[in-house]
């Protein structure tokens, strides 16, 4: 009736290819230059938006004098996803990404439109 039961882990990271990332791969890059061949969107599916600051002091402490421009309607520093250079999608990055659990995010996170390269 089968071998030992295997425990499964819920994955809380995903990759999304939207029009911008598809264009960066297909049209805006040289196919012979793998190292600079576009980006994908790396998503932390466990991400939840920060709560709205309750006071003006909290708002200034979080956002500074100028709020960040909205991305997907959010002005938080962390918007739950980042642009990641496609050459970073090797097994070593997936092992690193799987080590971050719950709502913990990759330490090299940069808010879009920055494109993260874990090799730099």
The total domain count for the chain is: 1
Mean pLDDT across the stretch 61-69?
70
The verdict on residue 2 lying in a domain is no
Which range marks the domain in which residue 29 is found?
A: 13-116
Q: Is residue 82 included in any domain, yes or no?
A: yes
Between CA 115 and CA 57 the distance in angstroms is 31
Give this prediction's pTM.
0.73
Establish if 4 belongs to a structural domain.
no
Confidence (pLDDT) at 49 = 81
Within-domain flag for 84: yes
Structural domain contains residue 45: yes
Q: Are strands 115-116 and 81-85 parallel, antiparallel or unpaired?
A: parallel
Do the domain assignments include residue 76?
Answer: yes
In a domain, 6, yes or no: no
What's the confidence (pLDDT) of residue 8?
44
Position 53 in a domain = yes
Q: What is the pLDDT of residues 15-36, one digit of tens each?
A: 899 999 999 998 888 878 877 8
Q: Which residues of 14-48 are buried (b: 16+ CB within 10 A; e: fewer)?
A: eeeeeeebeebbeeebeeeeeeebbbbbbbbebbe
Distance CA 4, CA 24 (A): 45
For residue range 73-100, list pLDDT tens digits in order: 888 888 989 999 988 887 666 666 666 6
């Amino acid at each position: 009736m089968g071998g030992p039961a295997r425990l499964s882990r819920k994955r809380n990271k995903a990759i999304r290819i939207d029009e911008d990332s598809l264009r960066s791969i297909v049209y805006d890059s040289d196919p012979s230059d793998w190292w600079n061949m576009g980006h994908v969107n790396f998503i932390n599916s466990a991400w939840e938006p920060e709560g709205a600051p309750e006071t003006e002091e909290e708002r200034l402490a979080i956002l500074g004098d100028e709020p960040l421009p909205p991305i997907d309607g959010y002005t938080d520093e962390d918007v739950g996803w980042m642009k990641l250079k496609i050459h970073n999608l090797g097994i070593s990055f997936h092992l690193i990404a799987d080590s971050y659990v719950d709502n913990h995010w990759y330490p090299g996170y940069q808010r879009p439109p920055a494109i993260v390269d874990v090799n730099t």
